[in-house]
């Protein structure tokens, strides 16, 4: 991730966020669990006062990213930090109210 100098405080930092959804197995004999990689290794900083727009093709993971940040979906991996604290420390209701 590129580093830029700014006087603004980081509001939300996302580090290596991953959200995978398991696919249904075709039979009970399938040994390997397959996954859809909705979001894979996303890192970004959102600074105070900024507005972020997500643009992309249908099905590319925009809504999944938003729902994961709001804790409507559990992250498969990675960290989301809100004002220097891991967002998992906050109750989901609080997160959806402030974001």
- What is this structure's pTM? 0.78
Q: 7-39 b/e with 16+ CB inside 10 Å = b?
A: eeeebbbbeebbbbeeeeeeeeeeeeeeeeebb
What secondary structure, in 3-state letters, does 41-74 show?
EEEEEEECCCCCCCCCCCCCCHHHHHHHHCCCCC
Chain segment 6-42, per-residue pLDDT in tens: 578 999 999 999 999 999 888 878 888 899 999 999 9
Q: Residue 94: helix, strand or coil by DSSP?
A: helix
> Where do the domains of the chain lie?
10-98
Q: How confident is the model at residue 96 (pLDDT cuts 50, 70, 90)?
A: confident
| The CATH homologous superfamily of the domain defined by 10-98 | P-loop containing nucleotide triphosphate hydrolases (3.40.50.300)
Between 69 and 93, the higher pLDDT residue? 69
Identify the DSSP state of 84. T
In this structure, the strands spanning 10-22 and 35-47 are antiparallel
């Amino acid at each position: 991730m590129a580093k830029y100098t700014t006087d603004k405080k980081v509001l939300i930092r996302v580090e290596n966020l991953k959200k995978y959804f398991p696919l249904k197995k075709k039979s009970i004999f399938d040994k390997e669990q397959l996954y859809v990689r909705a979001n894979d290794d996303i890192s970004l900083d959102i600074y105070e006062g900024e507005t972020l727009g997500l643009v992309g093709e249908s099905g590319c993971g925009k809504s999944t990213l938003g729902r994961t940040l709001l804790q409507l979906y559990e992250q498969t991996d990675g960290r989301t930090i809100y004002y220097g604290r891991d967002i998992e420390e906050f109750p989901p209701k609080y997160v959806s109210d402030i974001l």
